[in-house]
Amino acid sequence: MKALKYTIDIVSVMVLVWGLMLLLLIIVNAVVVNLRLPIEGLAGSLLNNALQLAIGGALFSAWLFVWYKATVYCRKRRLKLWGRGPQ
Amino acid sequence: MDSALNDLVLKGLLVFLASFSSSFLAMPKVVDFSKKRGFVGRDVHKDGQPIVPEMGGLGILLGVLVGFLAYCLISLEVDVCLVVFTSCTLAAGAIGVLDYLRTLRGALKALLTVIACAPIVVGWLLFPSEVVIGRPELPFVGRLRLTIVYWALLPLAIAVPANAVNMIDTFNGVMPITSIFSVLALLIPSIILERWGAVFMCLLLLGALMGFLPYNLYPSRVFASDVGSLAVGAGIGAIAVLGRLEVVGVVALMPQIMNAFYILASVGGLLERRQIAERPTVVLGGNVIAANRSEGAPMTLANLILSRGPLREPDLVKAYALLSFFSFILALATACFMVIR
């Protein structure tokens, strides 16, 4: 039970990160992969791939950012609780 | 059960037993060898910092190798995927030996682990029908056909798990316990999806880890050192790639990846532990460990767990085990989403 008390909010972060990862995969597959620029030829194809890569990369970075911020918030909250608890 | 399935179960059981018994029985010899050669380190999380033999990872490597040979002898054939898996594991283990003897810089070690994916590339070049890569399966989405992107990410498929498992190996029993849950999270989907090659790889690694576990539990009689942790991480990465369970592998390794991500984000790069000025935890009296509350302390998973309050080492290890259990459940759910579309 002690281990559960110490891990429950880390598990919440874990579930959040996991859920966002699945959501990200669905968005990439449903939206990003189907993006098409109205430019024909090799240049259009290259620009299209670059755009998909940039949007995919931005979404991935946002995911990492949310993950990090959620962890920092969780740690601060836990440190506060530790300070309030019996020493 | 039909005879083919009976045969697979029997083979699996024998491979597991060969891997487990060789790792378990070799460990006292590895302990003696480490002591004789001076391959020892201090257990810094205990009062008096007792000296503990290292290089326990050699026993894990032996377990994997004997299990692989047992498979070849039982089935009278050489499975290419198992050869690739064993080669990746041994290559990462060799890098671990080099790191132990020469103390490589963090970035160089990470770069060297990229080389451990070479057996996968060679296997794919020589036996493209057996070593199928570039077709990962995603939950809800199904099988993708990636070419350039997959090849660009392939070096990370071994280097990331190898270094992530290496980074989590900080307390007695944490590496084998968390890795056992990760391997189980790959084993069950492999059985459900009937990927028998991946099943045997999981059994090889599981046997070797379970043989090592009793010696590494609190209070540790031997440490795996980089030899064991890099090899185990590379093995898990190889199973994920060869079994086409990449996303399940990522979820199964969540505690290890979380720990590595927090360290990289808070320290700001790949640094060797001796290069980090502050420790993430502090040892209080009576084998009690607390989080280092300083702003400059690296934010590891241990630091995060202990930010709720100090714990004794066995309780801290239980918290790691619980996190691994939850990631095991999430990995199984991910595998279910791969099947149910």
Kindly state the average pLDDT of the residues B119-141: 87
**pTM to 2 decimal places:** 0.92
For residue B237, what pLDDT is reported?
96
Share of chain B above pLDDT 70, in %: 96
Say if residue B255 is exposed, middle or buried (CB neighbours under 10 Å; 0-12, 13-18, 19+).
buried
For residue B275, what pLDDT is reported?
65
For residue B82, what pLDDT is reported?
95
Instruction: Tell me the backbone φ, ψ of residue A7, rounded to 5 degrees.
Output: -115, -10
**Which residues of chain A have a Cβ shorter than 8 Å from any chain B Cβ?**
2-7, 10-11, 14-15, 17-18, 21-22, 25-26, 29, 64, 67-68, 71-72, 74-75, 78-79, 81-82, 85
Q: HEC string of B49-79?
A: CCEEECCCHHHHHHHHHHHHHHHHHHHCCCC
Of B307, B330, B337, the CB nearest to A78: B307
CA B123 to chain CA mean position, Å: 21
Q: Distance (Å) from the C-alpha of residue A29 to the closest C-alpha of chain B?
A: 7
For residue B152, what pLDDT is reported?
81
The one-character DSSP state at B142 is E
Q: Which of A1, A8, A17, A18 to mutate to test the interface with B (most CBs of B within 10 A)?
A: A18
Handedness of CA B166, B169, B294, B104 (dihedral sign): negative
Cβ atoms B312, B287 nearer than 8 A: yes
Q: Kindly indicate the confidence band of residue B316, based on its pLDDT and cuts at 50, 70 and 90.
A: very high
List Cβ<8 Å contacts ≥24 apart for B128-132.
B130/B80, B130/B81, B131/B80, B131/B81, B131/B84, B131/B242, B132/B244
Kindly state the average pLDDT of the residues B38-60: 92
Structural domain spans, chain B: 3-254
Tens digits of residue pLDDT in B2-20: 788 888 899 999 999 999 9
Kindly state the average pLDDT of the residues B169-173: 93
Tell me whether residues A81 and B308 touch, CB distance under 8 A. yes
For residue A87, what pLDDT is reported?
44
Sequence letter at residue B240: A
Please, which residues bridge with residue B41 across strands? B52
Q: Which of A15, A71, A72, A73 to mutate to test the interface with B (most CBs of B within 10 A)?
A: A71
Q: How far is it, in rounded angstroms, from Cα B211 to Cα B209?
A: 5
Least trusted range by pLDDT, from A52-66, A67-81, B129-143, B318-332: B129-143
Give yes or no for B330 touching A (CB within 8 A): yes
pLDDT at B177 exceeding the cut of 80: yes
Kindly state the average pLDDT of the residues B154-178: 93
Kindly state the average pLDDT of the residues B248-255: 94
Give the position of tokens 């999270």: B185
Least trusted range by pLDDT, from A59-68, B115-124, B250-259, B266-275: B266-275
Sequence letter at residue B217: L
Share of chain A above pLDDT 70, in %: 95
